[in-house]
Amino acid sequence: MSNSPIQTMYRREFLEQVGWVSLGTMAAAGLTGRAAAGQESQAQKPWQPVSDRKVRVGVVGYGVCRFGAAFGFQDHPNVEIVAVSDLIPERRQTLMKACRCEKSYESLEVLVQDPKIEAVFVATDAPSHARHCIDVLRHGKHVMTAVPAVFGSVEEAERLLEAVKKAGLKYMMAETSCYRADCYGMRQIYQAGGFGRLVYSEGEYYHYSKTPIDSFNGWRIGMPPLWYPTHSTAYYVGVTDKRFTTVSCVGFDAGYPHNRPGANRYNNPFSDEVALFGTSEGGSSRMLMCKGIQGRVVEQGRVFGEKGWMDGITYQGAFKELPDITRPALPPGMAGGGHGGSHGYLTDEFITSILADRKPRVDVYEALAMTVPGLIAHQSALKGGETLKVPQYEPPKT
């Protein structure tokens, strides 16, 4: 078997999902009250549909990660996939089969004109995410996008925010860490007061990749690491709904050819970036994206608060009445999928937000709060770690 980065990632995801079972069993003994009980009863929690209506969905993008089908829209009982699209005909045909769909379009720009489609999953190349989502919204359709929300441009973030506000439709970024078992549990405990204010938190995305992973038009070659920050930043923003306010970042060059001067379109010299953020709670948060650490491929985080701390799914602290930290049940026949079993939960959350007409878990404000700080962190790294202010994206007060 080949040892390419992508295949290594899939093997790791398989082992990780198997590992969660034993880890949850062991960690449950260290939890108290309903949290421990929840670890034992997750499989028994029934899925409760909010409607019998089917949302008519279009799916766009079937690149190297095959995300167009990987999030399971085709398996959700409240979804009808009307059409799919990919710029490459062979991929388009494969995506049709994977989504069990009989219609396809040659591009997103054509697909969004189909009046039967009411929501679109954008799984295209990262540099196109914001532009594609804006186009979907302008055509009167809800949209879920793969990460990141924007790619390298704060101005693009402002345009995306304005498009979402103008459309008045559902926008969701499918940040996988938000539905990893540990990060989801951290959020439940934080919301219940089990940490108090966070003194310190960590989010880590290690993806060793000496040779860049294949990508449409080569967008991954030499990419600034923290332009792809959300697997890490979700371990603060996704837990607390709070914000990063300042950042100082240090970059590292692992000596890869694609990070040499003039070797990439971004003029980026770094394979690794480690950022220290100040937070709106008065604490600090270390977030990183590293590609230069030999053999390490993992997404993980930890939180440390006034009343307790959590690493993995083990909570320790003075707070005794913990909530159920298990993730909600999935629809029958729908798998959790990759990235720690998070894909199916993200799809169900998006579809449910449409059917129930409520805010999706990672709306545009949370998406930009997870994404834009990484762009500012890269600017800091280029300036030798200078402390910079982070733009704030706060939802309107209700």
Q: What is the pLDDT of residues 23-75, one digit of tens each?
A: 333 333 334 433 433 343 444 578 999 999 999 999 999 987 788 899 999 99
Instruction: Copy the structure tokens of residue 56.
Output: 């008519």
Q: What is the pLDDT of residue 45?
A: 74
Q: What is the pLDDT of residue 217?
A: 85
Whether residue 231 contacts residue 269, with contact meaning beta carbons closer than 8 Å, is answered with: no
11 vs 177 pLDDT, higher one = 177
Tens of pLDDT, residues 134-189? 999 999 999 999 999 999 999 999 999 999 999 999 999 999 999 999 999 999 99
Amino acid at 371: T
Q: What is the pLDDT of residue 206?
A: 97
Q: What is the pLDDT of residue 9?
A: 34
Over residues 68-83, the mean pLDDT reads: 96
Amino acid at 38: G
Over residues 290-305, the mean pLDDT reads: 97
Q: What is the pLDDT of residue 43?
A: 47
Angle at 365 between CA 117 and CA 111, to 5 degrees: 20
Which stretch of DSSP H or E encloses residue 198? Answer: strand 198-207
Q: Cβ of 241: how many Cβ atoms within 10 Å?
A: 16
Q: What is the pLDDT of residue 67?
A: 84
Q: What is the pLDDT of residue 213?
A: 81
Instruction: Copy the structure tokens of residue 93.
Output: 């045909």
The region of weakest confidence among 32-41, 85-94, 188-197, 346-355 is 32-41
40 DSSP assignment: H
Over residues 292-306, the mean pLDDT reads: 97
Q: What is the pLDDT of residue 234?
A: 98
Mean pLDDT of the chain: 89
Tens of pLDDT, residues 366-384? 999 999 999 999 999 999 9
CA proximity to 67, closest of 11, 5, 4, 6: 6
Whether residue 306 contacts residue 160, with contact meaning beta carbons closer than 8 Å, is answered with: no
Instruction: Copy the structure tokens of residue 169.
Output: 């439709």
Q: What is the pLDDT of residue 22?
A: 29
13 vs 93 pLDDT, higher one = 93
Whether residue 223 contacts residue 268, with contact meaning beta carbons closer than 8 Å, is answered with: yes
The residues pairing with 284 across neighbouring beta strands, listed in sequence order, are 200, 278
The region of weakest confidence among 11-20, 104-113, 202-211, 332-341 is 11-20
Whether residue 184 contacts residue 325, with contact meaning beta carbons closer than 8 Å, is answered with: yes
Q: What is the pLDDT of residue 319?
A: 85
Over residues 332-339, the mean pLDDT reads: 94
**Does pLDDT of 10 surpass 60?**
no
Over residues 199-227, the mean pLDDT reads: 92
The region of weakest confidence among 39-48, 139-148, 296-305, 389-398 is 39-48
Counting residues of the chain whose pLDDT is more than 70, the rounded percentage is 89
Whole-prediction pTM value?
Answer: 0.89
Over residues 238-262, the mean pLDDT reads: 97
d(CA 251, CA 129): 25
Count of positions (residues) in the chain: 398
The region of weakest confidence among 88-92, 94-98, 214-218, 261-265 is 214-218
d(CA 364, CA 158): 10
**Does pLDDT of 19 surpass 90?**
no
Residue 79 φ/ψ region, left for φ over 0, alpha for ψ in the -120 to 50 degree band, beta for the rest: beta
Token look-up 């219940």 returns 192
Instruction: Copy the structure tokens of residue 19.
Output: 């590992």
Q: Averaging pLDDT over each range in 16-25, 314-323, 336-345, which range is the top one?
A: 336-345
